[in-house]
């Protein structure tokens, strides 16, 4: 079984300040890791993913996340946030092996960017 813990349910941050959204996972097998963003009344949009290779992954809009296997973490960071980054962010994990295809999500972190 897998689980995801997002340590902060809400994170307020001033515009242009840096932010870190924390994610820890538990799994007995190798994993793929994802961050999704959800704007109000919308579905989920993939922000970035770690499948293999470099442990630092980046998105096109300035977010990055680093896979830390020893700490079982996949924290999301952005050096300077914008008002438009206000949304809910979900960390998710799936098994990288055959036979298990579901995504297991955390409960989400609401990022509020303050002007």
Partner 1 sequence: DAGVTQSPTHLIKTRGQQVTLRCSPKSGHDTVSWYQQALGQGPQFIFQYYEEEERQRGNFPDRFSGHQFPNYSSELNVNALLLGDSALYLCASSPRPGGYTFGSGTRLTVV
| Residues in touch with partner 1 (CB under 8 A) | 4, 32, 34, 36, 42-46, 49, 51, 90, 92, 94, 96, 100-108
E strand or H helix at 76? strand 73-78
Query: What is the C-alpha to C-alpha distance for residues 109 and 7, in angstroms, rounded to an integer?
Result: 8
Nearer to partner 1, 41 or 115 (CB): 41
Nearest approach in angstroms of CB 108 to partner 1 is 5
41 CB-contact burial (10 Å; exposed 0-12 / middle 13-18 / buried 19+): exposed
Q: Could you give the 3-state DSSP secondary structure of residue 66? A: strand
Least distance CB 111 / partner 1 (angstroms): 15
Report the run of H or E that residue 56 belongs to, with start and end: strand 56-58
Q: Which is nearer to partner 1, 26 or 102 (CB)?
A: 102
Choose between 15 and 110: whose C-beta lies nearer to partner 1.
Answer: 110
Minimum distance between the CB of residue 80 and partner 1, rounded to whole angstroms?
27
């Amino acid at each position: 079984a897998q689980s995801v813990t997002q340590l902060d349910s809400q994170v307020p941050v001033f515009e242009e300040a840096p932010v870190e959204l924390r994610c820890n996972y538990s799994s007995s097998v190798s994993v793929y890791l994802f961050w999704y963003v959800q704007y109000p009344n919308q579905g989920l949009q993939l922000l970035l993913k770690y499948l293999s290779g470099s442990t630092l992954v980046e998105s096109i809009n300035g977010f990055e996340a680093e896979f830390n296997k020893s700490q079982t973490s996949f924290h999301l960071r952005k050096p300077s946030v914008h008002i438009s980054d206000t949304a809910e962010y979900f960390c998710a994990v799936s098994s990288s092996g055959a036979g298990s295809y579901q995504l297991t999500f955390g409960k989400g972190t609401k990022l509020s960017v303050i002007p």
